Structure 1
Amino acid sequence: MTNPVFSLKNATVTVANGTTILDHLNFDIDKDDFITVLGTNGAGKSTLFNVLSGDLMLTEGSIEHNGEDISHLPAVKRTSFLARVFQDPKLGTAPRMTVAENLLLAEKRGAKRTLRNRKLSAEKLKHYYELTKTIGNNLENRLQTATGSLSGGQRQALSFLMATQVKPGLLLLDEHTAALDPKTSDQLMAATNEQVTQNNLTALMITHNLADALTYGNRLIVLNAGRIVLDVKNEDKDALTEAELLKYFVHS
């Protein structure tokens, strides 16, 4: 039995008015897990992600990364092993920098950065061309375009590539296709699945799409009132139906 990459032990978040958002949550994330995360609004999904990323500190309990307690490690320090893609395509990219410059910036995630000329070599541009071509939305032909001029789908695809081009220890996908039209969403989900599975990434993906939750990943959890009420993987996950999943939302 392998040790988990991340482990939350009695993880609790209580806000000023006394409301408990995460309720003594015990949750292990194993290497190469691709976990889809479901739950109603207020179930604790975003809080779970904020705790993992370091944007929110626990009230009680602890969080470990490869056996080391990182409960008080700030978010900026966690970028060396963690990446996140948000629902809003505008987050995660620098709008005045070109697509290529954003990709160059992302290569330095978690490392020390120095001021230097942003001119890119022909070899580097060729690499970025091949990288962006894998997404299939014409992003490869807009490498020298300011990111703020891209469509929402292209900008979100860029955010995803920036999060994954340097393999993170944990990838958080925070409803990263929710703001996109159905065709663009399907396109990005296919690219996401390919990247995660082929590169053996450890990932959590929040989604409200039951079909996506059942289709993608090796494991599925449902949160309710800050607790995990369902945690299935592999064959048990494959046997789940949308009708069975809906039962966890009717009485939430």
Structure 2
Amino acid sequence: MTETILSLKNVVVKVNQNQSDETEILKSLNLDIHAGDFITLLGSNGAGKSTIFNAIAATIAIDAGQILHNGRDITKDSPEKRTQFLSRVFQDPKMGTSPRMTVAENLLLAAKRGEKRGLRSRHLRAHMAAFQKITAGMNNNLDQRLNTATENLSGGQRQALSFLMATYKKPDILLLDEHTAALDPKTGQALMAATAARVAEDHLTCLMITHHMEDALKYGNRLIVIKDGRVAHDFNHEEKSQLTKEKLLSFFDLTE
């Protein structure tokens, strides 16, 4: 049986607690994520998808339940501690990079993630060949811009850099938070293809929020539909292969 790498057990997240408009966003949600899973998450706005990511990353505290990483309770661990095994790419290309640093300098930050740092030479030049190779795999000329300040990149190149930084040290869990939504269709599909290739090559465990039905059907081995703060449907690879876009649409209340 495949190893369970992350578990959310009866997780509850509330907003506006002890007020008249108190609301449960996540309602005793349960989810087991297995090593090597590539899970696509679908759900209407407000269903709780981003809240799941925020709970996993500890950028919000959960009000009840547990989160386990490799069987260890990490419910109380800080966001900083969770970055030892967790990476995230956001929808906004500007959120994952330092704008005034070059592409190579940003990648060097990713290469040294989690390490103790002191006042010593950064040895940037020694990493350039590796950075050239990894950026060339994105097929968007990012490898020709290693010495360019990140703020001068196109949106697609900057998001590709964010993705490379998030995956550079092969995290246990990779969260992709609508990471192609801000890109034009052609650039978005190119990044999705590169994403799928890297996830497969490095055997990453990945959760991806998307609003694109086609991407949800095309990529990954599991498809999960979140509705009203719970897992409404969890399709394995075989079940997923039988789904259609029309069938997926039928799971949503379009009046929401």
Indicate the SS of the match to 1:172.
Answer: strand
CA distance in 2, matches of 1:82, 1:110: 11
- Residues 50-69 of structure 1 correspond to what in structure 2 (within 5 A)? 50-69=54-73
CA distance in 1, matches of 2:243, 2:121: 53
Counterpart among 31, 37, 41 of residue 45 in structure 2: 41
Deviation of 1:119 after TM superposition, in Å, equals 5.0
Deviation of 1:249 after TM superposition, in Å, equals 1.3
Match of 2:8 in 1: 8
CA distance in 2, matches of 1:146, 1:118: 18
CA distance in 2, matches of 1:217, 1:161: 19
CA distance in 2, matches of 1:39, 1:51: 17
Structure 1 position 201 matched with structure 2 position 227: no
Identical counterparts, % of pairs:
58
Q: Deviations over 1:193-249 (max 9, x none)?
A: 000011110000000000000000000000011001110011111111101100111
Structure 1 position 168 matched with structure 2 position 156: no
Q: Which amino acid aligns with 1:195?
A: R
Counterpart among 142, 147, 152 of residue 149 in structure 1: 152
TM-score relative to the length of structure 2? 0.95
Q: Which amino acid aligns with 1:201?
A: L
Which runs of no fewer than 5 residues in structure 2 stay unpaired?
none
Task: Label 1:20 to 1:69 Cα distance change in 2 as closer, same or farther (>3 A).
Answer: same
Q: Which amino acid aligns with 2:44?
A: T
Deviation of 1:183 after TM superposition, in Å, equals 0.8
CA distance in 1, matches of 2:202, 2:101: 27
TM-score relative to the length of structure 1? 0.97
- Residues 25-36 of structure 1 correspond to what in structure 2 (within 5 A)? 25-36=29-40
Q: Deviations over 1:96-139 (max 9, x none)?
A: 11000000000122222224344522x42111111100000000
Match of 1:88 in 2: 92
Match of 1:113 in 2: 117
Q: Higher mean Cα deviation, 73-82 or 10-19?
A: 10-19
Q: Deviations over 1:133-187 (max 9, x none)?
A: 0000000000001111111100000000001111000000000000000110011
Structure 1 position 189 matched with structure 2 position 162: no
- Residues 224-235 of structure 1 correspond to what in structure 2 (within 5 A)? 224-235=227-238
Superposition RMSD in Å: 1.1
Stretches (4+) displaced over 6 A? none
Q: Kindly indicate whether the alpha-carbon contact (under 8 Å) linking 1:81 and 1:110 is maintained by their aligned counterparts in 2.
A: no
Q: Kindly indicate whether the alpha-carbon contact (under 8 Å) linking 1:101 and 1:118 is maintained by their aligned counterparts in 2.
A: no
CA distance in 1, matches of 2:229, 2:34: 21
